[in-house]
């Protein structure tokens, strides 16, 4: 009997099962039974692998491929019902820590009619879970949750049909509840899910053109019939994260494993001339220096030996003859003067020009103009990039926390020239990845080195490498002009953005991962890059929006390589857009909330998801939760050292609406800003797990706060000089607001509709935070800060310039 606990089942347990010759893989091939015996649990119920179990795992892990993709059109690929009427769900996603795994279990349990704590979830293992692409784009619930719900509903339908046949009564005369099917007319006649199908295959073929469209015959439940969705069961992964029993990707170990460290070029764009291997040959445990093109790594038996070898390796590099980039101090001037590589084409339904902005600006009673600047920022994961790769049996098994495990598999197979079904990725938890991070790069490096040395290799980036060489969110400069009529109505708005987004790299692309670039492998044309304008529903009769892309001098092999960083452009563009709306409100001597509501109410048009109506509801909810007093900004200047103020900012991300209010305390003598209180009104439609959502929103807002107050990647003309937590500060305990208030809004005009969809929540709430803080500083001081980050020194300089 399985003793199910409210915990994650580790991938190791799955691997352990393989060793019992009744593997998930065999099951997926259709050969019959899947024997499941979950191992004894740790203190919190989480799996603790003893040495004996570990040996089994290792043996299983090194078993030969091939590893074909699980067929997403087979119900058995998604759901297994066990003899004890528990269920295991297999999904192709990864949970970076925002609780999506718990939400998946809730949705699937609900549709299957089984208790949440009788279920279990396996994610992101390319061999045994269907390819849903892993994580990204805040789409876990919004997009990928749908096939999960539909397949679970289909499983319930099939089980009901089986019971119907067993009892000889039509399905509608059966009651289904918590894994038990009962004849309504005679409750003594009942059967459990386990009795009907325990450990056996459904053998049900699903339909759908692609994995997102996967469906059976059954329909999903109406919102009103969902019982587990909308509840807040605790996150199943948390106990193992606090008792020390969780096995992370960083913990992956196999016998014979060796340790690697990269050695990066000392300056960007340098060419490797010579390596003096004798400089490290004497280090105990030294195995090999591996180099190809400008890529260099050392491999040693022990970790500390590899660290020493990487530090000690003597090399000759030839520096590039021209500067690789401007100094960070000169970045914005460089971007303004550069010739754009492209102009971003607007995406329908957002035309780039509405009305006649030039004429409207010429006729305006008041025209104001402002420029804003936003630096390169990094993901800067707390745990530097890492991966472990095992080349046993002519295949490649990679343990990684990469949020797109499936892409890593495909990319590595291409990079190494191996058949795709000889490569697999086992996803395990790791440090947060809010977009395209160096976790991709480390996976390729580990696999390449494992192939080179013929032994399992663990790659671990160092802190300086992570901070300097991880993928960056692009820098921006903005110029905005707005025209008000005599009554203070906004009649024209011109938005011009430039982003250093040229050669924006994708995920796990074998031509653009760092190791490929350093080896000289690259696509013929860099990606053009781009960005969307601020996402709001304001009705402005005359407007023009232009976004241009610029390139830095060094395009390849650069530590300033750009890719997706949480949203990926919203914090930047919303900072400019919502700061400027605040400037216009101040110029119109209007209250910032009322000014925005007027812009939203100016049109009666709305879109299919009622984004305009929901925007109004979110703004009003935020103002009410804060206790907003209606008045223009700035407030009359205080007399003490500490000045207080509040600012609002609003935006949407796809269909999710967010309005945030920041309350600040600003020290006029030091320039220090403390955001004392944050309020967020958040409308993401149907909420799966309110507490989990609150945690995700808090993290989003505080990440936004860190980017507002601290984060900037700095560089001289040849290298990134941000290399650790001193040269690249982040939010700390001392910065934490004293109070955070969240309001979960359902602003749908028909809030109780049975088909209310869930929208994404992984990134929306990071977008408005920076502007809310800037607007609050203005409210407190009358000084407008137009350059991110708002570090003490630069804020104080702005105060002095304004003679505060």
Partner 1 sequence: MSNITLKVNGKTHTLDVDPSVPLLYILRNDLGLLGPRFGCGLGQCGACMVIIKGAAVRSCITPCSSAQGSEITTLEGLAKGGVLHPVQQAWIDEQVPQCGFCQNGQIMTAKALLDKNPDPTDAEIRAGMDRALCRCMTYYRIQAAIKRAAKLIAAAGQSSGKEVGA
Interaction pattern, residues 634-673, with partner 1; x per rule: CB under 8 A: ----------------------------------------
Buried b (16+ CB within 10 A) or exposed e, 331-362: bbebbeebebbeebeeeeeeebebeebeebbe
CB of 699 to partner 1, least distance (A): 5
Buried b (16+ CB within 10 A) or exposed e, 734-754: ebebeebebbbbbbbeeeeee
Instruction: Find, among 746, 792, 756, 717, the residue nearest to 322 by Cα.
Output: 717
Comparing CB distances to partner 1, the nearer of 392 and 437 is 437
Q: What is the DSSP letter of 140?
A: I
CB of 801 to partner 1, least distance (A): 31
795 in helix, strand or coil? helix
Q: Any idea how long the chain is? A: 804
Please report whether residue 703 would count as binding partner 1 according to CB under 8 A. Answer: yes
Tokens 């879970």 belong to residue: 129
* H-run or E-run covering 667: strand 656-667
Among 316, 630, 732, 750, binds partner 1 (CB under 8 A): 732
Please report whether residue 65 would count as binding partner 1 according to CB under 8 A. Answer: no
284 in helix, strand or coil? coil
Please report whether residue 690 would count as binding partner 1 according to CB under 8 A. Answer: no
| Greatest Cα pair distance in the chain | 87
Q: What are phi and psi of 701, to 5 degrees?
A: -65, -40
Q: How far apart are CA 629 and CA 802, in angstroms?
A: 26
Comparing CB distances to partner 1, the nearer of 251 and 356 is 251
CB of 40 to partner 1, least distance (A): 12
Q: How far apart are CA 522 and CA 527, in angstroms?
A: 11
CB of 361 to partner 1, least distance (A): 40
* H-run or E-run covering 450: helix 439-453
Comparing CB distances to partner 1, the nearer of 462 and 783 is 462
Please report whether residue 730 would count as binding partner 1 according to CB under 8 A. Answer: yes
- Residue 502 structure tokens: 């040229």
190 in helix, strand or coil? strand
Which listed range, 110-118, 567-575, 660-668, 728-736, lies at the site for partner 1 (CB under 8 A)?
Answer: 728-736
Please report whether residue 256 would count as binding partner 1 according to CB under 8 A. Answer: no
Tokens 């390819």 belong to residue: 131
Q: What are phi and psi of 794, to 5 degrees?
A: -75, -35
CB of 380 to partner 1, least distance (A): 7
Interaction pattern, residues 392-431, with partner 1; x per rule: CB under 8 A: -------------------------------------xxx
Please report whether residue 117 would count as binding partner 1 according to CB under 8 A. Answer: no
Please report whether residue 741 would count as binding partner 1 according to CB under 8 A. Answer: no
Interaction pattern, residues 224-253, with partner 1; x per rule: CB under 8 A: ----------xx-xxx-xxxxxxxx-xx--
Interaction pattern, residues 284-323, with partner 1; x per rule: CB under 8 A: x-----------------xxx--x----------------
- Which residues have a Cβ under 8 Å from the Cβ of 750 and sit 6 or more positions away? none
Please report whether residue 571 would count as binding partner 1 according to CB under 8 A. Answer: no
Please report whether residue 383 would count as binding partner 1 according to CB under 8 A. Answer: yes
Q: How far apart are CA 18 and CA 13, in angstroms?
A: 9
Among 231, 695, 717, 746, binds partner 1 (CB under 8 A): 695
298 in helix, strand or coil? strand
- Residue 670 structure tokens: 């030091």
446-475 binders of partner 1 (CB under 8 A): 460, 462-463
Do the strands 542-549 and 490-499 form a parallel or antiparallel pair, or are they unpaired? parallel
Interaction pattern, residues 82-111, with partner 1; x per rule: CB under 8 A: --------------xxxx------------
- Which residues have a Cβ under 8 Å from the Cβ of 9 and sit 6 or more positions away? 38, 47, 88, 120, 121, 122
Comparing CB distances to partner 1, the nearer of 199 and 251 is 251
Among 52, 273, 726, 801, binds partner 1 (CB under 8 A): 726
**Contact criterion met (CB below 8 Å) for 774 and 647:** yes
Please report whether residue 698 would count as binding partner 1 according to CB under 8 A. Answer: yes
Which listed range, 159-167, 375-383, 552-560, 607-615, lies at the site for partner 1 (CB under 8 A)?
Answer: 375-383
CB of 7 to partner 1, least distance (A): 11
Comparing CB distances to partner 1, the nearer of 35 and 242 is 242
Instruction: Give the binding-site size for partner 1 (rule: CB under 8 A).
Output: 61
Peptide bond preceding 66 in cis form (omega within 30 of 0): yes
Binding site for partner 1 (CB under 8 A): 43-44, 96-99, 234-235, 237-239, 241-248, 250-251, 284, 302-304, 307, 380-384, 429-432, 460, 462-463, 691-692, 695-696, 698-699, 702-703, 705-706, 724-726, 730-738, 740
């Amino acid at each position: 009997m399985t003793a199910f606990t409210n915990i994650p089942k580790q991938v190791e347990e799955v691997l352990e099962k393989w060793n019992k010759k009744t593997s998930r893989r065999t099951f997926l091939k259709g050969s019959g039974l899947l024997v499941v015996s979950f191992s004894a649990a740790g203190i919190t119920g989480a799996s603790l692998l003893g040495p004996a179990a570990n040996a089994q795992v290792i043996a299983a892990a090194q078993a030969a491929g091939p590893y074909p993709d699980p067929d997403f059109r087979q119900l058995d690929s998604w759901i297994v019902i066990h003899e004890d009427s528990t269920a295991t769900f297999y999904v192709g996603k990864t949970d970076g820590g925002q609780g999506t795994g718990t939400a998946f279990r809730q949705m699937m349990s609900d549709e299957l009619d089984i208790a949440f704590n009788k279920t279990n979830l396996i994610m992101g293992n390319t061999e045994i879970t269907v390819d849903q692409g892993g994580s990204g784009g805040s789409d876990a619930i919004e997009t990928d949750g749908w096939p999960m719900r539909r397949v679970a509903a289909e499983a319930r339908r099939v089980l009901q049909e089986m019971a119907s046949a067993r009892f000889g009564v039509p399905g509608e005369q059966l009651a289904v509840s918590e894994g038990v099917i009962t004849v309504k007319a005679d409750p003594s006649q009942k059967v459990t899910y386990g009795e009907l199908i325990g450990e056996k295959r459904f053998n049900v073929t699903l339909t759908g053109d692609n994995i997102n469209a996967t469906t059976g015959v059954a329909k999903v439940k109406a919102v009103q019939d969902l019982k587990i969705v909308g509840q807040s069961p605790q996150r199943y992964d948390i106990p193992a994260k606090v008792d020390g029993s969780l096995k992370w990707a960083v913990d992956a170990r196999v016998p014979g494993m060796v340790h690697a460290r990269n050695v990066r070029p000392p300056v960007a764009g340098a060419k490797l001339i010579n390596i003096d291997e004798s400089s490290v040959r004497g280090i105990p445990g030294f195995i090999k220096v591996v180099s190809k093109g400008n890529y260099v790594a050392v491999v040693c038996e022990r970790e500390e030996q590899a660290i020493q070898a990487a530090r000690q390796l003597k090399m000759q590099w030839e520096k590039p003859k021209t500067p690789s980039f401007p100094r960070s101090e000169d970045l914005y001037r460089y971007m303004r003067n550069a010739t754009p590589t492209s102009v971003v084409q607007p995406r329908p339904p957002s035309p780039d020009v509405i009305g006649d902005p030039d004429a409207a600006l010429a006729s305006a009673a008041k025209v104001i103009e402002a420029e804003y600047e936003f630096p390169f920022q990094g993901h800067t994961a707390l745990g530097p990039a890492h991966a472990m790769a095992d080349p046993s049996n002519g295949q490649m098994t990679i343990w990684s926390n990469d949020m797109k495990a499936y892409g890593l598999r495909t990319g590595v197979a291409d990079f190494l020239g191996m058949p795709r079904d000889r490569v697999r990725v086992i996803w395990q938890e790791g440090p947060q990845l809010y977009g395209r991070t160096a976790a991709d790069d480390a996976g390729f490096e580990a696999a390449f080195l494992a192939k080179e040395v013929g032994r399992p290799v663990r790659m671990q980036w160092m802190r300086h490498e992570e901070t300097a060489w991880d993928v960056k969110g692009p820098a921006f400069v903005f110029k905005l002009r707005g025209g008000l009529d005599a009554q203070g109505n906004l009649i024209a708005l011109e938005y011009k953005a430039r982003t250093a987004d040229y050669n924006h790299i994708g995920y796990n692309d074998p031509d653009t991962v760092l190791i490929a670039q350093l080896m000289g492998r690259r696509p013929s044309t860099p990606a053009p890059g781009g960005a969307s304008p601020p996402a709001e529903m304001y009705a402005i009769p005359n407007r023009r929006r232009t976004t241009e892309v610029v390139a830095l001098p060094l395009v390849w092999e650069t530590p300033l390589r750009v890719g997706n960083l949480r949203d990926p452009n919203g914090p930047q563009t919303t900072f400019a857009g919502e700061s400027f709306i605040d400037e216009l409100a101040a110029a119109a001597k209007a209250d910032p909330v009322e000014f925005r509501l007027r812009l939203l109410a100016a049109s009666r048009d709305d879109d299919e998801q009622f984004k305009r109506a929901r925007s109004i509801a979110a703004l009003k909810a935020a103002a009410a939760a804060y206790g907003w007093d209606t008045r223009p900004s700035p407030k009359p200047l205080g007399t003490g050292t500490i000045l207080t103020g509040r600012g609002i900012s609003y935006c949407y991300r796809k269909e999710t609406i967010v309005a945030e209010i920041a309350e600040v305390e600003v020290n006029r003598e030091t320039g220090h800003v403390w955001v004392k209180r944050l309020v967020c009104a958040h409308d993401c439609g149907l909420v799966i797990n309110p507490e989990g959502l609150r945690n995700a929103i808090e993290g989003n807002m505080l990440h936004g706060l860190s980017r507002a107050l601290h984060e900037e990647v700095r560089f001289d003309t040849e290298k990134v000089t941000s290399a650790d937590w001193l040269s690249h500060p982040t939010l700390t305990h001392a910065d934490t607001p004293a109070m955070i208030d969240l309001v979960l809004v359902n602003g749908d005009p028909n809030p109780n509709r049975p088909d209310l969809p869930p929208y994404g929540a992984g990134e929306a709430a990071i977008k408005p935070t920076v502007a809310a803080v800037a607007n609050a500083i203005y409210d407190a001081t009358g000084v407008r800060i137009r350059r991110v980050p708002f570090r003490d020194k630069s804020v104080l300089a702005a105060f002095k310039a304004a003679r505060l």
